Amino acid sequence: MGHHHPGSVSPLRTLTAAVRHHRDRNVGPVKTVKLPRRKLDFFASVLQRFGELHAPVARNGHFVFQRVRRWSEARLEYTRTELPPKKYFLPPRETLFRFTPGKGYVPESEDLDRRIVLLGVHACDIYSLNILDLVFNGKYPDPYYQTRRRNIALIGVDCIPDQRCFCRSMRADTVEQGFDLFFYDIGDYYLTLVGTALGDDMVLAAGELFESVTPDDVAEYKRRSQERHQRFQLDVEIRDLPEIFEMEYGSEIWEELGAKCLSCGSCSMVCPTCYCYDVADETQLGSTAGRRVRTWDSCLFATHAAVAGGENFRHSRASRVKFRFYHKQRGFVAEYGRPSCVGCGRCSAVCPVGIDIIEVINRLRGVEYAETEHAATR
């Protein structure tokens, strides 16, 4: 079982230009302009020249990223989406290739060349995609992920933290790269960072919609940035956390959490940086033709560490819960230099038994956890 990771305004850019704009995402902002809030809907119509417009929309009391055909559907002032933008780059289920007798293997390319403009992505979610880039562009490059990353434009937007956000603690509350444009709300305007050549194309295509930034705009941005910083309700110390995890490997907390955890995998499904997947071949009934399918997996599933011969290296739920925490906060640090958690709060929001990452970390540190308003919102 495969659980391992592996300058024109025209939207019809060549592959070379697409690769260029993807690489430029690692450079950082190239200029700053501003967009009047009242003209955002006009800019949204401009963006559709560059691809399908997707944004957060309200659905059944929650928020989800999906295609918007009317700008009135979009909700840029939202807390968090149920599923992260990861779903666009690493779909929950996808066909990798098809195989047919006589023809052999045919790579699946459906939707890979689909141009999408993803508007309204929070900083922590953009940061999470930068983390996934380390994995899927690294030792084992994933062409499916890489192609989607090139073909999907990212426009970020700032946010107001709620009682579950701890992205400031994870150093993911701001992002300097990985986006084409980034909007900061400064009242009547969005201060706009242009991060790539593609982002600059979008601004140029908008003509007179964008304006120059004034000193007053900068002052308002600073004021709102400080105000936002002060609104975080959660804080966790990540300094020397890998060492703490190493020393607490035998802590009784893991058995306690194992007895509580349902191994449902909900936390993995909503996590913006979980990237484990399973691979299976599906054949047509009565034929040897079929396809190879990749689906999301979770290290909390009972079969995740199962291997041929019947061995399971993490048979108990306690061992699987511990593995998930260790990989996020220790293993990823050893491999890439930082935790893979970005502090979005999704895992705590969806856990049916109330396992809270902040509470777990603070208990391991020996820090008293305040069961106040945060706990009351579960």
pLDDT band for position 30 (cuts 50, 70, 90): confident
> Strand order in 277-283's β-sheet?
104-107, 93-100, 290-296, 277-283
Question: In whole numbers, what is the pLDDT of the chain averaged over residues?
Answer: 89
Which of 105, 143, 112, 144 is CA-nearest to residue 290?
Answer: 105
pTM higher than 0.85 for the full model? yes
pLDDT digits (tens, 9 = 90+) for 160-206: 999 999 999 999 999 999 999 999 999 999 999 999 999 999 999 99
**Per-residue confidence (pLDDT) for residue 10, from 0 to 100:** 30
pLDDT single digits (tens) 331-372 = 999 889 899 999 999 999 999 999 999 999 999 988 755 443
* pLDDT interval class at 12 (50, 70, 90): very low
Q: What are phi and psi of 102, to 5 degrees?
A: 90, -30
**pLDDT tens track for 248-282:** 999 999 999 999 999 999 999 999 999 999 999 99
Q: Where are the domains of the chain?
A: 15-230, 241-376
For residues 12-17, average pLDDT: 32
- What are 222-249's pLDDT values in tens digits? 999 999 999 999 998 888 888 999 899 9
How would DSSP label each residue in 11-49? S---HHHHHHHHHHTTT---EEEEEEGGGHHHHHHHHTT
**What pLDDT is recorded for position 26?**
63
Would the pLDDT of 209 be above 70?
A: yes
Extract the runs of DSSP E, i.e. beta strands, from 168-231.
181-185, 189-194
* pLDDT for residue 97 is more than 60: yes
Confidence (pLDDT) at 173: 96
Whether 7 shows a pLDDT value over 70: the answer reads no
Judge whether 128 and 342 are in contact, CB under 8 Å: yes
Q: What is the pLDDT of residue 286?
A: 85
Check pLDDT > 80 for residue 328: yes
